[in-house]
């Protein structure tokens, strides 16, 4: 681990550049908070206006400091901040937090100033957290090096690490976590993230045995490799990484860019890679904290079978619906389980799943404790959710009931308690029991536990991947001739129809006779990428004469509709029998390198955008996960007379595409559309490859 990150998050001394004796001012708050909370390291205020601040010697400048501070908090205007960083480096300080704004978030002039800041930092050997941030907190050592309102109350240490690119929103999330009894051991705001990244900070926190969960609020992502490495580490350590990533839509992406100078990137790519690599994605701050609470207080289930025990049939139905929407199983309980339940719950209850124990359990608490014990023992059940509401007159009784369940539970469970008495919530959380006060939200939290468990089993079953995110070596990108592309793809084991490049109509006929009818004929030109648009494609040609006529018409269409285009000839391809239409492809993503795409073709991709992304290289299980995430995946099992698709062949094709992506870094984009998938395998019938070595 970097010495600079150690100094940032566990410093033995802190200098405050631009310190003030006024605790109501931004530059007075860090020293006030650290002295109030009992930080035991040395604190060095620096400001030529003062000689003493709150009983501590105040130094006139950085050069006068008695020792190089581990960490410097810079609280001066942007123009002076750059000079301060240089002076800190000369004094021997390795890392600084910059509260100063007026950098990359302020447009072109701000970006130029930020570039100068980074040039200065690199020259003088200083790592930077920020600029435009509100600091860092290590609650374990009582070090709130921040001006955040969250520190108005002494931060409470706990098993959660939280890092945020947003300062104010991050403060709000931290405060909400505190209100739920979730102690934040580390809180880091990276602001513009000009240097030290959110991922670097969280990577450090995972090494702390006191941390069980890492969480993040992301506005942009410059280096996907850092996120992937952090996610892999979190999964293998069993410490989930929970992330809210904004910029899901264009307006949000623009807002993120203007806020911290970060580009959000395409959300579908982030979503696919996050799922593949085991990041648990949250929709918003409430969902994040539900997930954090679930992971702090619950073990990860070994499967996706959920049992619902409720006092309300209506709530049970709502939860079962939501579980199915999220891909969870609400299994029919086994016969033995049902028999045992009949001996426990009232006759007017229900022994299915959901299990309705009715309100009778208040008179007989054993109804709940035994019902939960019985359903958790069912082999199809991996996780339980217990639903109830109000019960203010029974708070102490119910706390005891849940503690008894906790003491004997062999599988994880969550409590969904609507409008619960506050003292009951506090008591249960102190007892290590996860309580969520929303019906669907409880199911969402359960789904997060299940997703992380699935990812952990999938990812730890294979060695950690070796990534080769080779960036394109040229700004030029051009099309690769179809036959050359065919040979390159076939060499990686991708199934493509036979093809031949011909010079004219007569040669096209000869090629068609060699390939076998029926065939397709297409114009071949580096200047005509969308061949259908100029009448450059003819399909289903069953004899020599139809090939000749079509070839002549295609050449004529190209001469009329694309007179400036360079024509390489005519591509003759075998026709494939119609099957389920799929699309596959790859492209070079600025954050994650080569990413793969798969989706259902036709209306599914054109209108519904039913596609899934993942990062190369893929494991077999990664490819299977991609198919499972398609909204229209039922089509692959055969519908309306169509036979089921050979999924193993589809997965083989995706894995071959992954290998191609890794071994061919010059290819920045590839479309295989359509790919016909059937019971006898897959076959791509059209392809477009763009490469840094392509035609100019």
In a domain, 614, yes or no: yes
Nearest to 528 by CA among 498, 557, 508: 557
Token pair for residue 24? Answer: 């109501």
Q: Specify whether the CB–CB gap between 89 and 128 falls below 8 A.
A: no
Residue 469 falls within a domain, yes or no? no
Q: For position 518, which CATH number holds?
A: 3.30.1490.20
Based on the fold, state whether residues 556 and 664 are members of the same structural domain. Answer: no
User: In the 8-state DSSP scheme, what is residue 636?
Assistant: G
**517 and 421, same structural domain?**
no
17, pLDDT greater than 60: yes
> What does the H/E/C string look like for 227-242?
HHHHHHHHHHHCCCEE
Asked if residue 247 has pLDDT above 90, the reply is: no
- What integer is the mean pLDDT of 613-641? 93
Q: What is the pLDDT, as a whole number, of residue 695? A: 86
pLDDT above 90 for 299: yes
Least confident of 61-75, 460-474, 505-519, 675-689: 460-474
Rounded CA-CA distance 475/479 in Å is 14
Task: Indicate whether 333 and 217 sit together in one domain.
Answer: no
480-538: pLDDT as tens digits: 999 999 999 999 999 999 999 999 999 999 999 999 999 999 999 999 988 999 999 99
Indicate if 94 and 160 belong to the same structural domain: yes
* Structural domain span for residue 112: 3-294
197 and 328 share one domain: no
Query: In this structure, is residue 466 part of a structural domain?
Result: no
Rounded distance between C-alpha atoms, residue 604 and residue 84, angstroms: 56
251 — pLDDT class (breaks 50, 70, 90): low
Task: Judge whether residue 651 has pLDDT over 60.
Answer: yes
Domain count, the chain: 4
The DSSP annotation for 173-240 comes to HHHHHHHTT--EEEEEE-TT-SSS-HHHHHHHHHTSTT--EEEEEES--S-HHHHHHHHHHHHHHT--
Q: What is the pLDDT of residue 215?
A: 99
Split at pLDDT 50, 70, 90, the class of 258 is: very low
- Assess if residue 56 is contained within a domain: yes
Same domain, 183 and 262: yes
Last residue of a domain, one of 460, 478, 510: 460
- Reply yes or no on whether the pLDDT at 104 is more than 50: yes
Q: Residue 8 — φ and ψ, nearest 5°?
A: -65, -45
**Quick one: pLDDT at residue 264?**
37
Mean pLDDT over each residue of the chain, to the nearest integer: 94
Q: Of 539, 574, 609, at which residue does a domain stop?
A: 574
Q: How far apart, in Å, are the Cα atoms of 385 and each of 322, 380, 511, 677?
A: 13, 14, 65, 40
Is the Cβ–Cβ distance between 262 and 268 less than 8 Å?
A: no
- CATH code of the domain in which 635 resides: 3.30.470.20
Q: What is the pLDDT of residue 266?
A: 83
Q: How confident is the model at residue 476 (pLDDT cuts 50, 70, 90)?
A: confident
Task: Say yes or no: 315 and 290 in one domain.
Answer: no
> Model's pTM, two decimal places?
0.93
How far is residue 678 from each of residues 218, 354, 638, 643, 646, measured CA to CA in Å? 41, 38, 9, 7, 6
Per-residue model confidence (pLDDT) at position 471: 55
CA distance 262 to 100: 17
| 521 and 431 part of one domain | no
Residue 491 lies in a domain: no
Q: What is the DSSP letter of 344?
A: T
pLDDT at 642: 81
**Which pLDDT band, with edges at 50, 70 and 90, does 260 fall under?**
very low
Q: Is the pLDDT of residue 473 over 80?
A: no
pLDDT at position 641: 75
Domain-embedded: residue 137: yes
**Residues with Cβ < 8 Å from 334, sequence gap 6 or more?**
378, 379, 380
Residue 262 has pLDDT above 50, yes or no: no
Confidence grade of residue 475 (pLDDT, cut at 50, 70, 90)? confident
Of the candidates 384, 317, 391, 385, the one whose C-alpha atom is nearest the C-alpha of residue 359 is: 391
Structure token digits, residue 282? 């949250």
pLDDT value at 259 more than 70: no
Q: Between 373 and 608, whose confidence is greater?
A: 373
The whole-number average pLDDT for the span 326-343 is 97
Check if the beta carbon of residue 217 is closer than 8 Å to that of residue 170: yes
8-state DSSP, 350? B
Burial classification of residue 379, based on how many CB atoms lie within 10 Å of its CB (0-12 exposed, 13-18 middle, 19 or more buried): exposed
pLDDT at 613 over 50: yes
Q: What is the pLDDT of residues 388-403, one digit of tens each?
A: 999 999 999 999 999 9
pLDDT at 249: 64
**Mean pLDDT score, 246-258:** 58
Question: CA-CA distance, 186 to 208, in Å (whole number)?
Answer: 10
Q: Are residues 683 and 636 in the same domain?
A: yes
What would the mean pLDDT of 323-333 be, rounded to a whole number? 97
pLDDT given for residue 143 in this prediction = 98
Q: Does 186 lie in the same domain as 45?
A: yes
pLDDT higher at 181 or 609: 181
Tell whether the model's pLDDT for residue 690 goes beyond 90: yes
pLDDT digits (tens, 9 = 90+) for 271-293: 999 999 999 999 999 999 999 99
Given strand 135-138, what is the order of strands in its sheet? 143-146, 135-138, 184-189, 160-164, 213-218, 241-245, 280-282
Q: Which segments of 530-619 does DSSP mark as H helices, in order? A: 544-561, 603-606
Asked if 130 and 98 count as a contact pair (C-beta separation under 8 A), the reply is: yes
Q: How far is CA 122 from CA 92, 93, 116, 221, 396, in A?
A: 13, 12, 10, 21, 59
Residue 490 counted as domain residue: no
H or E segment at 57? Answer: strand 56-57
Q: Is residue 43 part of a domain?
A: yes
CATH number, position 76: 3.40.50.261
DSSP reduced 3-state for 138: strand
Backbone angles phi, psi at 402, to 5 degrees: -70, -35
Task: Let me know: does 618 contact 596? Beta carbons within 8 Å.
Answer: yes
133 and 246, same structural domain? Answer: yes
> Please, is 178 exposed, middle or buried when counting C-beta atoms within 10 Å of its C-beta (0-12, 13-18, 19+)?
middle
pLDDT of residue 257: 47
Please report, for residues 83, 602, 636, 648, the alpha-carbon distance to residue 643 in angstroms, rounded to integers and kept in the order given: 70, 17, 8, 15
**pLDDT for 143-172, tens place per residue?**
999 999 999 999 999 999 999 999 999 999
Residues 55 and 102 in one domain: yes
Alpha-carbon torsion 357, 358, 361, 363, what sign? negative
Question: Torsions phi, psi of 601, nearest 5?
Answer: -85, -170
pLDDT band, very low/low/confident/very high, at 571 (cuts 50, 70, 90): very high
676 and 581 Cβ atoms separated by less than 8 Å: yes
Pairwise CA distance, residues 677 & 683, whole Å? 7
Rounded to whole angstroms, the Cα distance separating 562 from 532 reads 12
pLDDT in tens, 44-103: 999 999 999 999 999 999 999 999 999 999 999 999 999 999 999 999 999 999 999 999
Q: Give the end of a domain, one of 558, 574, 590.
A: 574
Question: How distant, in Å, are the alpha carbons of 1, 542, 553 from that of 508?
Answer: 63, 13, 13
CA atoms within 13 A on the CB side of 318: 13
Is 261's pLDDT higher than 70? no
Question: What is the reported pLDDT for 468?
Answer: 58
Please report, rounded to a whole number, the percentage of residues in the chain having pLDDT higher than 90: 89
Residue percentage of the chain with pLDDT more than 70: 96
Mean per-residue pLDDT, 643-670: 96
What is each CA distance from 344 to 113, 356, 357, 374, 415, in whole angstroms? 71, 11, 9, 9, 20
């Amino acid at each position: 681990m970097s010495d600079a990150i150690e100094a940032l998050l566990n410093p033995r001394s802190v200098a405050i550049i631009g310190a003030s004796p006024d605790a109501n001012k931004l530059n007075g708050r860090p020293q006030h908070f650290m002295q109030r909370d009992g930080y035991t390291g040395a604190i060095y205020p620096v400001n030529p206006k003062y000689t003493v601040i709150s009983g501590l010697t105040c130094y006139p400048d950085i050069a006068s400091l008695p020792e190089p501070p581990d960490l410097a908090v810079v609280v001066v205007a942007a123009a002076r901040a750059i000079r301060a960083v240089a002076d800190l480096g000369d004094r021997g300080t390795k890392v600084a937090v910059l509260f100063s704004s007026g950098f990359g978030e302020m447009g072109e002039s701000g970006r130029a100033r930020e570039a100068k800041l980074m040039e200065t930092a690199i020259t003088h050997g200083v790592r930077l957290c920020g600029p435009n941030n509100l600091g860092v907190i290590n609650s374990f050592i009582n070090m709130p090096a921040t001006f955040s309102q969250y520190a108005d109350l002494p931060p409470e240490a706990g098993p959660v690490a939280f890092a945020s690119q947003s300062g104010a929103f991050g403060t709000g999330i931290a405060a909400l976590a505190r209100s739920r009894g979730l102690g934040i051991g580390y809180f880091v705001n990276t602001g513009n993230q000009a240097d030290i990244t959110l991922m670097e900070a969280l990577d450090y926190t995972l090494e702390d045995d006191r941390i069980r969960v890492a969480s993040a609020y992301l506005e942009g992502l410059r280096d996907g490799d850092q996120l992937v490495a952090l996610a892999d580490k979190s999964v293998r350590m069993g410490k989930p990484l929970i992330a809210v990533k904004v910029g899901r839509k264009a307006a949000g992406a623009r807002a993120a860019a203007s806020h911290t100078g970060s580009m959000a990137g395409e959300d579908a790519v982030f979503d696919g890679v996050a799922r593949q690599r085991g990041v648990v994605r949250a929709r918003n701050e409430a969902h994040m904290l539900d997930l954090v609470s679930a992971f702090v207080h619950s073990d990860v289930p070994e499967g996706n079978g959920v049992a619902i025990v409720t006092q309300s049939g209506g709530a049970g139905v709502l939860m079962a619906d939501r579980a199915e929407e999220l891909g969870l199983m609400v299994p029919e309980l086994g016969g033995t389980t049902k028999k045992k339940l009949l001996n426990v719950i009232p006759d007017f209850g229900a022994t299915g799943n959901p299990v309705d124990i009715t309100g009778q359990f208040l008179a007989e608490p054993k109804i709940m404790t035994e019902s939960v014990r019985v359903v958790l023992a069912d082999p199809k059940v991996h996780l339980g959710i217990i639903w109830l509401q109000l019960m203010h007159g029974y708070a102490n009784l119910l706390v005891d009931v849940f503690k008894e369940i906790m003491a004997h539970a062999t599988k994880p469970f969550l409590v969904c308690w609507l409008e619960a008495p506050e003292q009951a919530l506090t008591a249960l959380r102190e007892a290590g029991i996860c309580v969520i006060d929303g019906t669907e939200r409880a199911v969402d939290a359960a789904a997060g536990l299940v997703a992380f468990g699935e990812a952990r089993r999938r990812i730890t079953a294979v060695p950690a991947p070796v990534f080769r995110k080779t960036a394109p070596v040229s700004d030029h990108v051009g099309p690769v001739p179809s036959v050359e592309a065919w040979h390159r793809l076939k060499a990686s084991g991708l199934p493509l129809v036979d093809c031949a490049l011909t010079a004219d109509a007569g040669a096209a006929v000869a090629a068609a006779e060699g390939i076998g009818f029926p065939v397709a004929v297409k114009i071949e030109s580096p200047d005509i990428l969308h061949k259908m648009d100029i009448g450059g494609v003819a399909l289903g040609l069953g004899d020599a004469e139809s090939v000749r006529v079509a070839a002549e018409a295609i050449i004529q269409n190209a001469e009329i509709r694309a007179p400036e285009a360079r024509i390489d000839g005519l591509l003759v391809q075998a026709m494939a029998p119609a099957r389920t239409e799929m699309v596959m492809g790859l492209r070079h993503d600025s954050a994650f390198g080569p990413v793969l795409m798969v989706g259902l073709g036709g209306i599914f991709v054109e209108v519904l955008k039913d596609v899934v992304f993942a990062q190369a290289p893929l494991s077999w299980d990664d490819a299977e996960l991609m198919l499972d995430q398609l909204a229209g995946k039922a089509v692959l099992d055969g519908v309306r007379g169509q036979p089921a698709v050979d999924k193993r062949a589809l997965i083989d094709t995706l894995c071959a595409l992954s290998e191609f992506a890794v071994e061919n870094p010059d290819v920045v984009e590839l479309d295989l559309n359509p790919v016909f998938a059937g019971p006898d395998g897959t076959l791509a019938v059209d392809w477009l490859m763009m490469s840094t070595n392509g035609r100019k």
